[in-house]
Amino acid sequence: MEVISLKQLSLFFVLVLVIATPLFAQQSDGGLRTELRLNGWMFENFFQSSDPATEEDVSALGAELRIAGGSRTGWSPYARANYLKYDDEGLDSTYGGRVGLALDSNPHSFDAHADHQLDRPTFDIGDVFDRADVTTVGAEYRYRITRNWEAGVEGQYQQQGFQELTIKDNEYTGYGASLRYRGFGSLFSPEVGFMMGEREVDDPTETYDQDETYIQVRSAPSAAVYLSLRYRMREREYTTVDALASNFGRTDDRNQWTFSADWRLSPRFALNGYYSDETSDSSREGRDFDTKLYMVGVTVGF
């Protein structure tokens, strides 16, 4: 197993910084922002086992370098480089990056990005663990209809290329919309939304349609604290017409709670936390499971 050394990781971050900094500085008259995020992760039932006796917990350490420019018009180009090392010897370290362009203004806000992750553990296809190189392109646009209401639309395209079982290579296309109420101010801001998509797999028995609906509440009780609570209901419906396939007529319900918190102690230092709890209920025998994820970290600006 090839493991990235600390020296290689440092050189990777430095290279991203050296390349991105002058490019952003040329386009930015609002200052350059650079942050380093260091996170500790704990995955309960990482391999999504349906048998409690075979569940395995995995921990990991991660780092992410974020660089963003700004301007008086609100447009902000950004770049991110990330790395995650697992404590399980059977899991390769993963790394990747993202570049994007964001707009934060009133009444318009916008975000478009391209993301590439290498050796990412994934369970989207085949119900078995494998590693994939994942490329994602996405965009989101929000419009403040009135002082109190904001509507949004989004779209996403993703490709997954697997290292071993290449028959699981696939493409995902999804689109959705949301509606957010801001009339209560920053203390309490609820939102509802949905996303519809299709994952088309080289193995047609693994292709499925996916619909999800979510309810989210955001809260900023002070300028230093940001909280988010979200409940997502996701349904997968496998579309194979092969009556002999194990996925024929299969449906999965995957409901998930997520909670995140950010506490900025100073302009250059913040604490971060994240928690998720997902339950899968499948019509296919032996594919029900529960999994949880915990993250704590710090963000340092420089």
Ordered by start, the domain boundaries in the chain are 6-301
Which pLDDT does position 178 carry in this prediction? 98
Q: Where are the alpha helices (DSSP H) in the chain?
A: 6-27
Residues 6 or more apart whose Cβ sits within 8 Å of residue 150: 142, 143, 144, 179, 180, 181, 182
Which pLDDT does position 31 carry in this prediction? 73
CATH assignment, 6-301 = 2.40.160.40
In Å, how far from its chain's centre is CA 112?
A: 14
* Residuewise pLDDT in 10s, the chain (302 residues): 333 444 444 444 445 445 544 555 444 455 788 999 999 999 999 999 999 999 999 999 999 999 998 777 778 999 999 999 999 888 889 999 999 999 988 899 999 999 999 999 888 887 777 889 999 999 999 999 999 999 999 999 999 998 778 899 999 999 999 999 999 999 999 999 999 999 999 999 999 999 999 999 999 999 999 999 999 999 999 999 999 999 999 999 999 999 999 999 999 999 999 999 999 999 998 889 999 999 999 999 98
Do residues 131 and 92 touch, judged by C-beta distance below 8 A?
Answer: yes
* Residues 55, 256: Cα–Cα separation, whole Å: 19
**What Rg do the C-alpha atoms of the chain give, in angstroms?**
20
Ramachandran angles phi, psi of 167, nearest 5°: -65, -15
Ramachandran angles phi, psi of 200, nearest 5°: -100, 120
CA distances from 6 to 16, 18, 67, 232 (A): 16, 18, 21, 37
Do residues 39 and 279 touch, judged by C-beta distance below 8 A?
Answer: no
